[in-house]
Amino acid sequence: MNSRSQECVQALRYLSKEEAVAMETELLRDYRFGRQQLTEMLGHACATAIAKRQPTVLVVCGPDQNGCVGLACARHLRLFEYIPTVFTPKRSSDALHQDLMLQCERMDLPFLSYLPTEVQLINDAYNLVVDAVLGPETDLESVGEPFTGVLQTLRGLKAPIVSLDIPSGWDADESSSDGISPALLVSLMTPKRCALSFPGSHFLAGRFLPYDIQRKYELNLPKFSGTDCVVQL
Amino acid sequence: MNSRSQECVQALRYLSKEEAVAMETELLRDYRFGRQQLTEMLGHACATAIAKRQPTVLVVCGPDQNGCVGLACARHLRLFEYIPTVFTPKRSSDALHQDLMLQCERMDLPFLSYLPTEVQLINDAYNLVVDAVLGPETDLESVGEPFTGVLQTLRGLKAPIVSLDIPSGWDADESSSDGISPALLVSLMTPKRCALSFPGSHFLAGRFLPYDIQRKYELNLPKFSGTDCVVQL
């Protein structure tokens, strides 16, 4: 009886880029979630996923939404008593990004002024590098410097990488063999298609999707335990 | 050695109303925290504190900030697989409150259209009542209906009450013997003076205060365990 009911469990869905964008639009527009609110929940959940591993961490944050989650994640890691270092390759014009930066600065998080191109320096200084550079919404055709340089450095690292939502530089719809290769992927809200055959550790962060949204997009999310905001897939 | 270092631990501070207001102003103005962001973290932490007790819950939410936290708390309780019921005695003109209401509605949380004055009905239907009606900032001189009626009903309940931040109707600066008498108090960010000799269970919710703020207000917060956002005092 028990094994039969397990067979009937629907498989977790991996969303296309288009579906992911549509779902987020709906959360903001129809459910009146705020970006601040979503970013905070996601950043907190990412930090929780990472904290299970207890490393010294470099958090590389891009100028858009993925970078915002990275900044919130870095701040929560600090509150979990790590000392994360932050690097932001490009100044952002987004007010939420600027507020999250200031919160990190006033929490005394150290910021790198540049990313060493000598990867050995990074490997020696950090047990883990968080990749919050580019997200699913990034138009990869238009990615130039400083991001191409940063991605090249990340590709050369020996220190394990944790990517938030998708590995930076990947298309959300397909996996990549020549892009960066994270040891751990933290999908935000739902996994994206590019993660379908992801070989590393895979966490899902964020436990707040309305049930109607879960049904509409047929997400078949796994069960979160107790009050956990993170689940390993 | 160990016992000596424990003796040196400074006592947790209980803030006056004035200090609590000053600290929150500073968080919003100088640290650029957003109300949405703070409310979400606090609501989540309150739900976590409550979820340790596993009851069926009625959440009574006022029209101001305390009620906002109550609404976020109710939504997270739903996500933790309880079925909380919400009652809001008064419509709010606050946009954040309205957004949080809509999020609860679209998460299919049941709303009561009125609070039964017959307390036995409430005692029978709920294992726990969350009091998120009035907060420390409330001017008690100007509290009239519908709140006086709601507080009177809460005072007559046998079902245990959980108050968020301070028991509604209490002055933040002094404990009250004739007001409502919660079984459990969840202080938000820091405990307020009225909780100094609180006889029930006491939790502290919210783990995000910048260290400079903690030092400035000499908070001497207790240690949170692991990635917990709640600690029992």
Q: pLDDT tens for residues A75-98? A: 999 998 888 999 999 999 999 999
pLDDT-derived band at A73, boundaries 50, 70, 90 = very high
Q: What is the side-by-side order of every strand in the sheet holding A230-232?
A: A85-87, A57-61, A128-132, A161-164, A184-188, A201-205, A230-232
**Does pTM surpass 0.95?**
no
- Is there a contact between A181 and A4 (Cβ–Cβ < 8 Å)? no
Let me know if domain A2-232 sits in CATH 3.40.50.10260. Answer: yes
Rg (C-alpha) for chain B, rounded Å, is 17
Residue-wise pLDDT tens digits, A131-141: 999 998 888 88
Residue from A40, A75, A81, A214 whose CB has the most chain B CBs within 10 Å, to mutate: A40
Nearest-by-Cβ selection for B106 from A76, A207, A212: A212
The domain spans of chain B are 35-232
Residue-wise pLDDT tens digits, A149-166: 999 999 999 999 999 999
A 10 A CB-CB count for A16 gives 15
For chain B, give percent helix, strand, coil, nearest 5.
Answer: 40, 15, 45
Architecture of domain B35-232: 3-Layer(aba) Sandwich (3.40)
Residue from A33, A37, A216 whose CB has the most chain B CBs within 10 Å, to mutate: A37
Element counts in chain B: helices (H) and strands (E)? 8, 7
Chain A residues bordering chain B (beta-carbon distance below 8 Å) = 30-34, 36-37, 39-41, 44, 47-48, 51, 75-76, 79-80, 98-99, 102-103, 106-108, 207-208, 210-212, 226-227, 229
HSE, CB side, 13 Å, CA atoms: give it for residue B40.
Answer: 24
The maximal CA–CA distance of chain A, rounded, in angstroms, is: 59
Look at residue A4 and tell me whether its pLDDT is greater than 60.
no
Count of residues in chain B = 233
Question: B31–A102: do the CB atoms touch at under 8 Å?
Answer: yes
Least confident of A23-27, A51-55, A188-192, A222-226: A51-55
Nearest-by-Cβ selection for B31 from A41, A106, A212: A106
> What proportion of chain A, given as a percentage, has pLDDT over 90?
53
pLDDT value of residue B115: 94
> What proportion of chain A, given as a percentage, has pLDDT over 70?
95
In angstroms, rounded to a whole number, what is the distance separating the alpha carbons of residues B209 and B218? 12
pLDDT value of residue A31: 72
Rg (C-alpha) for chain A, rounded Å, is 17
Nearest-by-Cβ selection for A107 from B103, B106, B211: B211
Min distance A184 CA to chain B CA atoms (Å): 19
Q: Average pLDDT by consecutive 10-residue portion of chain B (233 residues)?
A: 50 75 80 76 80 82 94 92 93 94 91 93 93 91 94 94 95 87 92 90 90 88 90 92
Residue-wise pLDDT tens digits, A100-127: 999 899 889 999 999 998 999 999 999 9
pLDDT value of residue B206: 85
What ipTM, to 2 d.p.? 0.86
User: Which residues does residue A201 pair with via DSSP β-bridges, in sequence order?
Assistant: A184
Question: B98–A32: do the CB atoms touch at under 8 Å?
Answer: yes
Look at residue A5 and tell me whether its pLDDT is greater than 50.
no
pLDDT value of residue B54: 63
Q: Which helix (H) or strand (E) holds A35?
A: helix A35-51
Look at residue A186 and tell me whether its pLDDT is greater than 70.
yes
pLDDT value of residue A6: 46
Question: B51–A99: do the CB atoms touch at under 8 Å?
Answer: no
Task: Residue A92: list chain B partners with CB under 8 A.
Answer: none
In angstroms, rounded to a whole number, what is the distance separating the alpha carbons of residues A46 and A96? 18
In angstroms, rounded to a whole number, what is the distance separating the alpha carbons of residues A78 and A84? 6
